[in-house]
Structure 1
Amino acid sequence: MVTPGYEGPFLLGIDFGTESCRAAIFDLRGVPIGFAATPYTTSLPKPGWAEQSPADWWDALVASVRRVLNETGIPARHIAAMSSDATTMTVVAMDKTGNELRPAIMWMDVRATKQSARAETINHWARDYNGGGTMPATAEWYPFKAAWLRENEPDIYRETHRLVDAPDWVTYKLTGEWTVNINSAAERMYYNRDRGGWPVEFYDHIGCGDVLEKLPENVVDLGTPVGGLLPSVAHELGLIPGIPVAQGCADAWAGQIGLGVVQPGKTAVITGSSHVISGQSANPLYGPGFFGGFTDSVVRGQYTVEGGLVSSGSVLKWFKDNFARDVVQAAERLGLNPYRILDERAAQIPVGSDGLIINEYFQGNRTPYTDSKARGYIGGLTLGTTPEHMYRAIQEAVCYGVAHNLRTFKKAGFEATELVACGGATNSRDWMQMHADVTGLPVTLTEVGDAVVLGSCMLAAVGGQQYASIEDAARNMVHEKERIEPRPEVHEEYRFYLQQYIDQYPQVQELSHRMVDHLV
């Protein structure tokens, strides 16, 4: 990136992902000025467990901020505001002096399965967020991890002054202020302003009612100014003390904001190893097969609906690494992207992959089944099936999964009119066209593919009073690059294959569960 020829103001966004901490500087038009990333590691001490060191996070933060300032040449005095995002339900235990008591329990950690099962034994409004009470709770969410800690590490639990989600750990470290961001509270902690706030009886039933005393009292809307950057932190980061710090959120919903999906109608599709599908509704929506509608989660007065695929890009990577090594080797010799070669070969395969139907449930299903025992199934293999058929069928499976989730939304009254996409899948124009053709909806690509960290900068712009609201920031900072229209004749061809995909898993679900139970 090249330093622009004006003095700003500029915005600093911090993104704590699963693998690294990224720092980015944007201007008020949403133009990226520079990025820097510093990796850290994940510990997997037991099956189903995943932990990280907050000390590693902090070291990565310092390194990334200092590097982006140095590489862009932006003077610290020109940074008008900052905000952050982080993985959600990455739970951090803190003592009264603000020190971490143990490694953070990561979002992907599912040790709290026994505790999450208790949610199905109570009839409570909190369960509306889990498919209107029809879907099982997931062990990834906050109260279940809190109950696990209380039962299995009681000494640490007693010493814990604050048990917070990672986005709120960041806010505290930057400002010294304790908050709970509304995004984490609603999306993963069962907080509902329409129902009066925290579901106390639900937490009591799970076995951690007293954890509510370990949460900050202030539940803060996104983009709200929380405080100024602490002098000691400013010194470490190379910034100016007192810079406004705006309330941040979970990374996926920073991505939704960075795509400009802040009003009803559009639906965000955030791609990568998995897909997150989310959108905004003017009215509360609950129903089988999706999460939400989460009250005030992104924009106050609106409701966020959520669906997703556990495995999407990760299944393509699995195929590339295990069944396309010749392509990978050839791509390395030629300096090409192996996925591009695979895309070109798969483009010769007809719609529906000659009857080959794959589902992408390689690591379970997030929605519409919320089934951790789901596994991938392949139907329609013939002696004529080639690697190119397999690759295209995986791409189609992901698109079918998106369409299946959108159908589930529609049954509850949420109808998507347009998809706005970001992430790794958007590097494939053919795959984006397939998303449009299968769903029958246009797919918009924005100028900034790194929508997550842009979203954090947009929150910084609101908190720093550069824009009046998140919607105002979206109008000024998110810009459409391309709109991919569905092809009606191809969409019609896909109808049959989509229905085959939808019908396939319920017929093998019992077999899948039986096999998983046998292997445990």
Structure 2
Amino acid sequence: APKLLWIKENLPNVFKKIETILFTKDYIAFKLCGEIATDYTMASRTMLFDIHKLKWSDYICETLGIPTSILPPVKGSWEVIGEVTGDASRLTGLPKGIPIITGGGDRPCEALGAGVIEEGEVNIGTGTGTVFEVPISEPRPDPHGLIDCCCHVVPNTWEYEIIINATGESLRWFRDNFGHEEVYRSKEEGVSPYELFNRMASKVPPGANGLFYYPYLWGARAPKFDPLAKAVFIGFTHAHKKPEFIRAIFEGVAFQYVETLQLIKRLGVHVKRIIMTGGEARSDVWNQIKADIIGMKIEVPKILYAAALGACILACIGIRAYKDFRLAIRNMVRIAKIYEPRPEVHTRYAKIYEIYQRVYTYISKCFKMLSEI
């Protein structure tokens, strides 16, 4: 909606010529099969869609002056919308007649690829940032307007998408600025520099010897929701070395999970099962730290980049290779590793987390002052 409004206000002649708005995946589908459509997950992220009635909102569109006629028909993410045409076949090499599925947004597809489709299950999709993907059985928008509520790729299901900024990015930032030695050594050993970071962090006790990290490299979304927040290392002395800083990053990211899970509980969801996907899930050390800190079991599937698998599952449902989503998940999603929280370590982390939170109340008062420099 904001982008369309910008075009309407700044490029009115262009806006008048718009015939149809399509998302990237939908434009590709259109070029392949000639059919115009989008799916519920993408429509529900436009701020023009009624997630209760599952249709474009006449009220919102009329208020903003956006004609619903330029918005595409909305279908289920699993539905077949057409077949590869002869022209598309000649251009791409794809056989003519292959079914084209509507598909879905990256995060709902990731949740599906992790097998997360029922309320009480959560997929933690990690990477540059982290998204908690939380299925719900009915649309329940956050009354405070902080958490996105959109459609899932499975029918009659919605999901909260809760974003934590700069999680994996914090480690990449540290590597690029302070990990030159590890990058060089990793080439000699034929491993990732992150594997060397794992080894270093594993030798540091919980609490990183009193060093805390707050991962707000570009402000804080969940759980603090403070755009002025800054990243902070606090507590280091001459005795702290690089391994402590790496351990502090691992722990600082994991500490965000605790308050995020509390936020999910306040939204009325009782979390019973946690799956984790994405790049951070390659680290056994980090996964164990996260399980110890939140005090819950974390399951990691064989396929970490689950969005692609989720899209594959949608295709399987669309061509009826499987009769329903649960059967497809049972046959296509495999859990590779399980990280159980260690009770004694969790107890220790609970005490450290209380201090971590109290320290934040003091340093957060500095953010506004820093923003004025």
Q: TM-score range by the shorter chain?
A: over 0.9
Is 1:346 the counterpart of 2:201 in the alignment?
A: yes
Within-5 A mapping of 1:483-498: 483-498=338-353
Q: How many residues align?
A: 372
Match of 2:234 in 1: 379
Aligned with 1:299: secondary structure? coil
Match of 1:219 in 2: 74
Are the aligned partners of 1:246 and 1:462 in contact in 2 as well (CA < 8 Å)?
no
The CA distance in 1 between the partners of 2:304 and 2:210, in whole Å, is 33
Deviation, 1:253, is 1.8
Is 1:240 the counterpart of 2:98 in the alignment?
A: no
Are the aligned partners of 1:271 and 1:425 in contact in 2 as well (CA < 8 Å)?
yes
The CA distance in 1 between the partners of 2:359 and 2:100, in whole Å, is 49
Match of 1:249 in 2: 104
Deviation, 1:292, is 4.0
The CA distance in 2 between the partners of 1:505 and 1:146, in whole Å, is 39
The CA distance in 1 between the partners of 2:199 and 2:304, in whole Å, is 22
TM norm structure 1: 0.67
Is 1:428 the counterpart of 2:286 in the alignment?
A: no
CA offset digits 1:27-86 (Å, max 9, x no partner): xxxxxxxxxxxxxxxxxxxxxxxxxxxxxxxxxxxxxxxxxxxxxxxxxxxxxxxxxxxx
Once the two structures are overlaid, the 10-residue window that deviates more, 418-427 or 375-384, is 375-384
The CA distance in 2 between the partners of 1:418 and 1:335, in whole Å, is 36
Aligned with 1:162: secondary structure? coil
Indicate which of 6, 10, 25 corresponds to 1:167.
25
Indicate which of 175, 179, 198 corresponds to 1:324.
179
1:215 maps to a residue whose letter is L
Match of 1:144 in 2: 2
Deviation, 1:477, is 0.9
Deviation, 1:373, is 2.9
C-alpha change, 1:376 and 1:411, in structure 2 (3 Å) is: same
The CA distance in 2 between the partners of 1:329 and 1:413, in whole Å, is 48
Match of 1:437 in 2: 292
Deviation, 1:180, is 2.3
Are the aligned partners of 2:212 and 2:248 in contact in 1 as well (CA < 8 Å)?
yes
1:451 maps to a residue whose letter is A
Match of 1:450 in 2: 305
Deviation, 1:311, is 0.8
C-alpha change, 1:430 and 1:304, in structure 2 (3 Å) is: same
The CA distance in 2 between the partners of 1:212 and 1:510, in whole Å, is 45
The CA distance in 2 between the partners of 1:202 and 1:313, in whole Å, is 37
Match of 2:116 in 1: 261
TM norm structure 2: 0.92
C-alpha change, 1:306 and 1:502, in structure 2 (3 Å) is: farther
Are the aligned partners of 1:357 and 1:500 in contact in 2 as well (CA < 8 Å)?
no
1:209 maps to a residue whose letter is G
Aligned with 2:45: secondary structure? helix
Once the two structures are overlaid, the 10-residue window that deviates more, 390-399 or 152-161, is 152-161
Indicate which of 212, 216, 220 corresponds to 1:361.
216
Within-5 A mapping of 1:177-326: 177-195=35-53, 197-203=55-61, 208-216=64-72, 218-285=73-140, 286-288=142-144, 290-294=146-150, 296-326=151-181
CA offset digits 1:226-256 (Å, max 9, x no partner): 1111221122222211111111111122111
The CA distance in 1 between the partners of 2:360 and 2:53, in whole Å, is 36
Q: Which ranges in structure 1 are unaligned for 5 or more consecutive residues?
A: 1-142
Match of 1:480 in 2: 335
Q: Which ranges in structure 2 are unaligned for 5 or more consecutive residues?
A: none
1:403 maps to a residue whose letter is V
Aligned with 1:342: secondary structure? helix
CA offset digits 1:277-331 (Å, max 9, x no partner): 112122443344852443x433222221121212111110111111121121122
Aligned with 1:239: secondary structure? coil
CA offset digits 1:437-489 (Å, max 9, x no partner): 11111111112222111111111111111122333321221111121111111
2:345 maps to a residue whose letter is V
Within-5 A mapping of 1:39-78: none
Are the aligned partners of 2:80 and 2:318 in contact in 1 as well (CA < 8 Å)?
yes
Are the aligned partners of 1:308 and 1:405 in contact in 2 as well (CA < 8 Å)?
no
Are the aligned partners of 1:353 and 1:389 in contact in 2 as well (CA < 8 Å)?
yes
Match of 1:38 in 2: none
C-alpha change, 1:416 and 1:461, in structure 2 (3 Å) is: same
Is 1:153 the counterpart of 2:8 in the alignment?
A: no
Are the aligned partners of 1:191 and 1:197 in contact in 2 as well (CA < 8 Å)?
yes
The CA distance in 2 between the partners of 1:211 and 1:393, in whole Å, is 51
The CA distance in 2 between the partners of 1:408 and 1:393, in whole Å, is 23
1:337 maps to a residue whose letter is S
The CA distance in 2 between the partners of 1:466 and 1:281, in whole Å, is 26
Are the aligned partners of 2:119 and 2:136 in contact in 1 as well (CA < 8 Å)?
yes
C-alpha change, 1:196 and 1:333, in structure 2 (3 Å) is: closer
C-alpha change, 1:289 and 1:421, in structure 2 (3 Å) is: farther
Match of 2:244 in 1: 389
